[in-house]
Amino acid sequence: MGRVAVIGAGMGAMAAAARLAVAGHRVTVYERTDTYGGALRRRERDGFAFDTGPGLLPLPAVYRDLFVKTGKEPLEECVELVQTDPSARHVFPDGTRVDLPNASRAGVVAALEESLGRGAGQRWGDFLVRGREAWDRTRRPLLEEPLWPNWDVLAGREPYPAVPHRRLLRTRQAATLAQVGAWELGDPRLARLLESHALAYGLDPRTAPASAAVLPYMEHAFGVWYVRGGLRELARAVHERCVARRVEFRFGTEVVRVVEKDGRAAGVELADGTVEEADQVVLGVRLGLVACPHEAPSDGEVPPRPADGPVPGRLTVLLALRGGRDADAVHRTVVHSPDRDAEVEALFGRAPAGRRGGVTPTVTVLRPDDPALRPDGNHESAVLTATVPAGLGPAEAERPEDRPGDRLGDRSAEQWSEPLAELMLTAAEAAVPGLRERLLWHEVRTPADTRRETGTEGVPAPALAGGGAALLHPGNATRLPGLHRVGGWSHPGGGLPHAGMSGALVAGLVVEGPDFRGSQ
């Protein structure tokens, strides 16, 4: 077996590294920063601890499979998984609240029926059935196999079985997620519930294909889970599994270029000029952060649009609260924006910066009932997150005239982040009673913080079929033999489950060669 150089220590990269090491390869991971985990970071202060990246784990089966395939200890022996119930509380602008049971279609239908009125639950239940059909049609080719050479079949085929809609003497079918909400769900609150899943990944519901219906379906079908001690514990467990399989980690080591020799990847060049030879190279960072031979797509290769330009990021507010967690608290609350149209225009349109900065976004409030995250029972830690427009918090080296349009990115991080954080705090009062009085301190984390930790500001979306390939990511194999892509910026896209899937796909391609067609 050969030497494999892995660039980056994100979750997808580590998943690939562990699998390759078990297959007998000598694996070295080169990480620019001083730690592992990519976006799965942890902030500690005054006895409080916070996840600064993802706070919940959907589809844990992906990581269960990783641990089964790479050692004797299953995932549950390495971390404590807790299924959150309810999966989420949704607070709508009209004051309506609904708690959605975890992984229970019947429970969700009953909850919506009771809170939103007769017929609402049934319409959502029928929608989930269609979402399951879209999932069944795309799960294998889109998530469990390397990207097909004839990827254009996925680009043009819409797997969501939209309901025919009669409008202006014409029968139409929903092509976008917003149309699914407007034409099939029959209640603006259900439409907001649907669109919140897309907004969390920085997807515009007005342009996201109808196949984005698989996002709420996955959550309702497979549930959402919390890792005791915070999601950072999952990163720790994967790192320890890599170390146990004799993967070498070199932190504080930046790779600047993939070395090519005799028409194939032959190693990596470090920032100090050192060249490390390798038989295979796995690129676990966004395209453009490391110089790669033949990086531009060839004719017929998926245009790397999700990794090509700026994509929306996340603003995170860490809250240290005095007082214990109230009895009615739930792990996750989604407080929907009071003005949906203004929110999507602020995120994806070109409204003047001043107006965009004053829009209250949809805010997700995470309040884990976890003693490991607070000093004692008389305090509580909480995390607020909201999706923010692409280009916010530009690097100091950039000049305003170098950035396009009249966007919030034309102002410094301090000018836009604190006012937006204040709007988020006000919205979060619907989820945390007496929040302002309980607040000891808060910290604001901008996309610039994400860039310092991961190399890029944006949050990659999962791959989706349809929509003209706008949400297909570059394939795991590249034009240069011996060079592979892994992680959220490559197939099958962003999110913890998808990152783990990409690690399995890359390991299969390295071990079995280009004819590998996914797990059987």
Please state the φ and ψ torsions of residue 355, each to the nearest 5 degrees: -70, -35
Rounded Cα distance, 433 and 59, in Å:
31
Residue 314 burial (C-beta neighbours within 10 Å; 0-12, 13-18, 19+): buried
Residue ranges of domains in the chain? 3-40+57-80+228-307+460-512, 102-222, 312-454
What average pLDDT does the segment 315-337 reach? 97
**489 to 64, 100, 109, 154, 309: CA distances (angstroms):** 22, 31, 35, 18, 12
Percent of the chain predicted with pLDDT > 70: 90
Handedness of CA 403, 445, 285, 33 (dihedral sign): positive
- pLDDT tens-digit map of 112-123: 999 999 999 999
Rounded Cα distance, 518 and 170, in Å:
42
Lowest mean pLDDT: which of 264-273, 294-303, 312-321? 294-303
State the Cα torsion 281-283-287-293 to the nearest 10°.
0
- pLDDT tens-digit map of 389-429: 886 654 433 333 333 333 333 345 667 889 999 999 999 99
Name which CATH class applies to 3-40+57-80+228-307+460-512. Answer: alpha beta
Lowest mean pLDDT: which of 290-299, 319-328, 499-508? 290-299
What is the per-residue burial (b if ≥16 Cβ within 10 Å, else e) of 448-467? bbbbebbbbbbbbbbbbbbb
β-pairing, 379-388 vs 224-227, is: unpaired
Handedness of CA 256, 261, 263, 265 (dihedral sign): negative
Secondary structure class of 230 (helix, strand, coil): coil
Q: Which residue has the higher pLDDT, 148 or 433?
A: 433
Contact criterion met (CB below 8 Å) for 193 and 96: no
The predicted structure's pLDDT at residue 295: 66
Rounded Cα distance, 32 and 10, in Å:
11
Contact criterion met (CB below 8 Å) for 460 and 53: no
Task: Report yes or no on whether pTM surpasses 0.85.
Answer: yes
The predicted structure's pLDDT at residue 444: 96
Q: Which of the four pLDDT bands, split at 50, 70 and 90, describes residue 168?
A: low
Rounded Cα distance, 321 and 490, in Å:
38
Q: In the chain, what is the greatest distance between 2 CA atoms, to the nearest angstrom? A: 68
Rounded Cα distance, 143 and 501, in Å:
7
**402 to 212, 348, 354, 399: CA distances (angstroms):** 33, 19, 20, 5
- pLDDT tens-digit map of 55-106: 999 999 999 999 999 999 999 999 999 999 999 999 999 999 999 999 899 9
Rounded Cα distance, 384 and 355, in Å:
22
Q: Tokens 């919140």 — which residue? A: 196
The predicted structure's pLDDT at residue 515: 87
Rounded Cα distance, 147 and 475, in Å:
5
Structure tokens, 19: 């699998």
Mean pLDDT (the chain) is: 90
- pLDDT tens-digit map of 367-376: 999 999 999 9
